[in-house]
Chain A
Amino acid sequence: MSDPAREAIVQAVSAAVGRGQPTRSDPDTGPSQVAWLPPEEDWEAAAASLQALGDELLVIKGRQELAAALGEITARHQVKRAVRWDHRLLRRLDIDRLLAEQSVDCAAIAGEQDLRSLAAEAELGVTALDALVVSTGTLVMRGGRGRERAVSLLPEVHLALVTPDRRLRAIKDLVPLWQQWRSEPGGPPGSVTLVTGHSRTADIELILVSGVHGPKYIYVLALEFPWDD
């Protein structure tokens, strides 16, 4: 800690701010409870937000509908390989089998080598959301083991599953959720990614182009059925 640059900078800053009159933080108002939307609320607002971003939300009412939706999406984008998170929701739904029925090879990421080769070659990445912000269509995903960031980043199509109890009204409702994560042992997750729409750029003559580095297409499947039996 005896870094002379550190000492010099902190000292210069301290002198500059004229230490002596500590300013008070704005009172930390606002709820400390996470304001999850009631599970019975419909998906219209979320669907509209995603549509405005050029993406799609599909309400799925049963396993058959899920299989049909997967069939439709994989056919539309000619998906041959998929990668997924090693996540309880995805295991319970047996996503691998459902995709295999569409002749799509799907596997969870098992090791680092996997990550680089599989995710880089797959056309589809499947994840589950920590939260969906309905007013903006924002997908909220914590990173970590079994929740690799690359799955929602490298493939051209990103498919995200969400359950009705994981919805927030507005981005500001993430504040208590973040505070909750932060107070867990180990502090906040090493990475939290918010995705609002698919990758885009307007760097060439301000013409909007989709899918520059990240996915070009995003589908959110809203699971309106008891998947945990």
Chain B
Amino acid sequence: MKVRTDRIKEMAAAAAADQGLHQTLLAAAGRFRQLRQGGVAAFDDLEKARDQGRRVKERCLAELDRLLPRLEKQVRAAGGRVHWARDAAAARAIILGLARARGVKRVVKGKSMMSEEVGLNQALEQDGLEVFETDLGEYIVQLAQESPSHILAPAIHKNKQEIAALFADKLGVDYTDDPEELTRIARRVLRQKFLQADMGITGGNFAIAESGTLALFENEGNIRMSTTLPRLHVALIGIEKVVETYRDFDVLRKLLTISATGQKLSTYLSLITGPRRDGELEGPDEFHLVLLDNGRSRILADPLLRQSLYCLRCGACLNVCPVYQCIGGHSYGWVYSGPIGCLLNTQLLPRGQGGPAPFACTLCGACAAVCPVKIDHPKVMLHLRWLMAEDPAWPLPRPPAARLGLSLYAWLATRPAGFRSASALARLLAPIAAPGGKARLTPPAISRWGRTRRLPRWQRPFSQRWPGLRRRLGNREEPS
């Protein structure tokens, strides 16, 4: 997927100005929040479950160097093969190599952020393969030659009229904007693809090391199709998806579905251990698990950043984020969006490329409050800002005027007498320089910054105003 993270500002501005999109985003986020809320209300002791989930992720990642070889051993014991990919290019090469060696012509895919992350579709298509996304939302997005905009609802940015026109144009069917009818059309078209495909590619929500089992959640059934019908199944997962035991998995699976859609369980959960066995009549002849690092081991090494890898991709943080709801998924410029996107894009892309997304955050903490594994997004966000500011590789604006201003502030802040006189001076000048709190004369160096901000009201410190305030409040007190 093309990286456009450096353009977040213009894309966000355009998205925020698009009223239709804005309404759609608000409606979608509201609906998902409502679904989650319904599930959470019926959930026994969510706080305890979140703590448990966090602990499971902490432990499994701390043990990852042992769990990965164990997973490999078990997958092999079940007759599957394991491939290791250090980066996106390696993952593409492995999967392309498999497709070539096995004479694959048609590929069906289940929803997978991983395949977006490594840019798999383009690579396969350039090699002359036919690739079909089979999750309805992903299929729509693929037909439109766009990219997904929400973890759970990839085509949320398109309304049914747009989808109707798209189907009429690309599939040659009669125009209908009835969702039932559109779904039936997609079912019919994709059913043929499933039956003809040689290779199914999926991601994976968890990989259980003790048994070599891949766990896949979905509501539509396309992942079941992709893992049952084609003669090859390739699953591409990040190394952080490994858990140790089925019990660990059980802790996380309930958090995942409740946080995503409020469901106690998604419609389908497939637990897959290796390919078809002797004497069986269905299932792929070969099962390949591709383990992708692509920057994850680097994230793992930082004790504070590591929590970014706890993410279950439930999407709950997107639906509560005021920024995401305003600018939508595409503005983030790469695979991941919303709060978790701010963290992952910046860390997974090469240094200096992830764009300024961590700065596009109000630090309100709504994301951390819903995250099922208690990722502290604002804390990580601040840490990333600091790392980025310190590292010249990041093309951040560092205007000398701002630097000068901040140095001056730092100097003043450590000198109480100077600070007091400066604030007194500011109080005196405020009515002239900034009537009504709006700066009139912003120096050009910070004028862009100043345009969207109000100056603080220059007042005497609260401790000095309190005696007067108390007198006034006291006067208003009701006689008892």
Contact = CB atoms under 8 A, between A and B. Distances in A.
A213 B187 CA distance: 6
Given A14-B65, A22-B63, A213-B221, A28 B247 contact: yes
B293 interface: yes
Contacts of B271: 188, 191-194
Residue of B134, B160, B247 with highest tally of chain A CB at under 10 A? B247
A17 B64 contact: yes
A51 interface: no
Given A111-B281, A182-B246, A190 B155 contact: no
B136 A212 contact: yes
Interface string A160-203: 00000000000110110011001000111111111111111111
A24 B28 CA distance: 41
Contacts of A212: 136, 183, 186-187, 220-222
Nearest to B302: A16
Contact of B190 (A19, A26, A109, A213): A213
Among A175, A188, A203, the most chain B Cβ lie within 10 Å of the Cβ of: A203
B80 to A, nearest CB: 10
Contacts of A214: 220-221, 224, 267-268
Interface string B222-266: 101101110000000001000011110010011000000001111
Contact of A144 (B55, B64, B153, B280): B280
Interface stretch (A62-70, A94-102, A147-155): A147-155
Nearest to B254: A171
A229 interface: no
A3 interface: yes
B439 to A, nearest CB: 42
B270 A3 contact: no
B155 A28 contact: no
Nearest to B141: A203
Contacts of B182: 204
Given A9-B297, A191-B270, A25 B245 contact: yes
Interface string B51-64: 01001101101111
Contact of B246 (A138, A143, A179, A211): A179
A196 B266 contact: yes
A6 interface: yes
Interface residues of B, number: 93
A226 interface: no
Given A9-B291, A12-B297, A193 B268 contact: yes
Interface in B163-199: 163, 179-180, 182-183, 186-187, 190-191, 194-195
B84 interface: yes
B347 interface: no
Nearest to B217: A194
B90 A206 contact: no
A84 to B, nearest CB: 13
A17 B65 CA distance: 8
A17 B272 CA distance: 28
Nearest to B192: A120
Contacts of A28: 245, 247
Given A150-B228, A213-B190, A172 B222 contact: no
A193 B269 contact: yes
B250 to A, nearest CB: 5
A116 B137 CA distance: 26
A209 interface: yes
Contacts of B140: 203-204
Contact of B228 (A9, A153, A196): A153
A26 B59 CA distance: 9
Contact of B155 (A15, A25, A188, A204): A204
Nearest to B214: A191
B228 A209 contact: no
Given A204-B182, A205-B159, A213-B221, A172 B282 contact: no
Contacts of B346: none
Nearest to B74: A187
A115 interface: yes
A149 B284 CA distance: 12
A197 B257 CA distance: 14
Nearest to B228: A149
A26 B84 contact: no
Contact of B221 (A23, A120, A191, A199): A199
B267 A204 contact: no
Nearest to B279: A145
Contacts of B56: 26
A202 B221 CA distance: 13
Interface of A: 3, 5-6, 8-10, 12-17, 19, 22-26, 28, 30, 109, 111-112, 114-116, 120, 135-136, 138, 143-145, 148-150, 153, 171-172, 174-175, 178-179, 182, 186-207, 209, 211-215
Interface of B: 27-28, 31, 52, 55-56, 58-59, 61-66, 68-69, 72, 74, 77-78, 84-86, 90, 134-137, 140, 153-156, 159-160, 163, 179-180, 182-183, 186-187, 190-191, 194-195, 210-213, 219-222, 224-225, 227-229, 239, 244-247, 250, 253-254, 263-277, 279-283, 291, 293, 297-298, 300-301
Q: Which 4 A-B pairs have the closest CB atoms?
A: A214-B221, A213-B221, A203-B137, A16-B301
9 contacts: A12-B298, A13-B68, A13-B297, A19-B65, A28-B245, A148-B281, A187-B212, A201-B183, A212-B183
Given A10-B65, A172-B254, A191-B273, 5 more contacts: A149-B282, A179-B246, A190-B275, A201-B137, A204-B182
